[in-house]
Amino acid sequence: MPTILNLPTELLGLVSTELSLDDICNLLLTCKRLYNGPLPQYARNRFGTVCVILDQHSLDFLHQVIRRPIFAHAVHRLVICSDHLSHADYSHSLQQPPGHGEDNANTDSTISFHPDEYSKRLASQTRLIKTDMATKCLARVLRGLPNCTAIAFSDGDEHDPIGRSRLERDIGVPPLRSLVVDVDDAHPESVIEESKEIVSDAITTLLLAAARSGLSGLQFEITLGLPYHEEFIDAVTSDMLSLLTTRDEIHKADLANISMLRLVVYATRNETWISDTIEFIALFSQLTHLRLHFKNRGEDRASGSLCRRLNVNNLHELELSRLIVTESELMDVLLRHQKSLKHVTLEQIEFDTPEGWPSFLSRAKDELSSCTFILEDCLIESDFWDTSYRISSTDDYARVINDFTVGLTSSNMEEE
């Protein structure tokens, strides 16, 4: 008769998602072969990236993880998802008539709103964030995760954070997620504005926890969503960045232990968005690796304007994605960091004129010879959208320049 030892590790993982950590450990401890065999692989698969929400139950789960070394050592990335409750959403939910939202996917949740439980969980959320409890808790958790090198704040689309399902079941409605609202059940502006403040509080909590953790060389990533703009999901807007850069507690915090920043930016028509982005990047005084990804490539040539102002001391690696710039704008930002820059990744970059690429690469070969370049899907007309190059030697430059030149020649001949 087959035993639990004959089950695939993947199946054990599926079963374990329905168990508490105590139950998992009790199961594994009943069989030494199971503990010494599938457990390490299970730990890596289940706990490599841990996603939670700022909720007491989720934070309790993290404390359970750090009390068990085999799980704590497996965690390399901690993600705080933006699911949250708000007073405005509470009032909005109270005003909805019975049966509201029956055509939506969340019908059962929508018509079973539990106002008392919502109020209770909202008070708990407020207490966690406003009294510094969550900051202290997360700092303690980070210190208990010896291999954790990355922390992130996300809108949760790519994750199923621990605590979300339980929260939704308890309150009877889906929690708000970042700044995104259901387009079929639009929330009033008051809900969105309060969400901005709460999300800003949550990001501040995570940053302060990172500063207090004492961990060095951390990667910090921030991605958010936008209301009614599904195509721009996972981008952060300037008004959110401005909320963060005006907080005294962030300016007073020492964020020197964060050496890598990954930022997905939505360039708005707001005249201050460039300065908001630059000021946010400046909060991290010891950055050596910066990735900037623009969700709305080419909005009013905004990416070129940002390139002209970007200046990070001791920057070793720069990743730029989805920009429309001139050759000189891109070269200027690289030469500004020439003394320290070692690695450059350019992804989906489009020059205003396709002829700029051979010229840019020739200058890079002469003036940035110590840099390794990665070119991914850089656009030269429509024929060169799918490209992937690694350039680290003179021969590499010669090959890529030739490919781009031939591509331009072929494109021009086709047009004629």
Q: In this predicted structure, which of 14-23, 100-109, 174-183, 255-264 has the lowest mean pLDDT?
A: 100-109
How much is the average pLDDT of 262-278? 79
Structural domain that includes position 36: 1-47
How much is the average pLDDT of 187-200? 82
User: Which of 378, 237, 228 is CA-nearest to residue 295?
Assistant: 237
If you average pLDDT over every residue of the chain, what do you get? 81
Cβ(357)–Cβ(328) below 8 Å: no
Q: Quote the pLDDT of residue 272.
A: 79
Is there a domain that residue 19 lies in? Answer: yes
Cβ(202)–Cβ(84) below 8 Å: yes
Residue 140, pLDDT > 90, answer yes
Residue 150, pLDDT > 80, answer yes
Q: How far is C-alpha 249 from the geometric centre of its chain's CA atoms?
A: 22
Q: Quote the pLDDT of residue 234.
A: 56
Q: Quote the pLDDT of residue 365.
A: 94
pLDDT digits (tens, 9 = 90+) for 163-193: 888 899 899 988 988 765 544 455 677 787 8
Is there a domain that residue 354 lies in? Answer: no
Of the ranges 66-75, 150-159, 379-388, the best mean pLDDT one: 66-75
CA distance 410 to 406: 6
pLDDT digits (tens, 9 = 90+) for 71-89: 899 899 999 998 999 998 8
User: Which of 219, 299, 227, 217 is CA-nearest to residue 265?
Assistant: 299
Is there a domain that residue 4 lies in? Answer: yes
Q: How far is C-alpha 314 from the geometric centre of its chain's CA atoms?
A: 23
Q: Quote the pLDDT of residue 227.
A: 45
Is there a domain that residue 16 lies in? Answer: yes
User: Which of 119, 118, 111, 137 is CA-nearest to residue 52?
Assistant: 137
For the chain, how many structural domains are there in total? 1
Is there a domain that residue 151 lies in? Answer: no
Is there a domain that residue 173 lies in? Answer: no
User: Could you tell me the strand order of the sheet in which 372-376 lies?
Assistant: 49-53, 77-81, 150-154, 218-222, 258-265, 289-294, 317-325, 343-351, 372-376, 388-391
Contacts 24+ apart (CB under 8 A), 28-34: 31/4, 31/5, 33/5, 34/4, 34/5
CB burial of 11-45 (b: ≥16 within 10 Å; e: otherwise) equals ebeeebeeeebeebbebbeeeeebeeebbeebbeb
Q: What phi and psi values does residue 105 have, to the nearest 5 degrees? A: -65, -30
How much is the average pLDDT of 395-399? 93
pLDDT digits (tens, 9 = 90+) for 292-322: 887 765 554 667 788 889 999 999 999 998 8
Q: In this predicted structure, which of 30-44, 154-168, 202-216 has the lowest mean pLDDT?
A: 30-44
Is there a domain that residue 28 lies in? Answer: yes
Is there a domain that residue 30 lies in? Answer: yes
Model confidence at 59, in pLDDT bands (50, 70, 90)?
A: very high
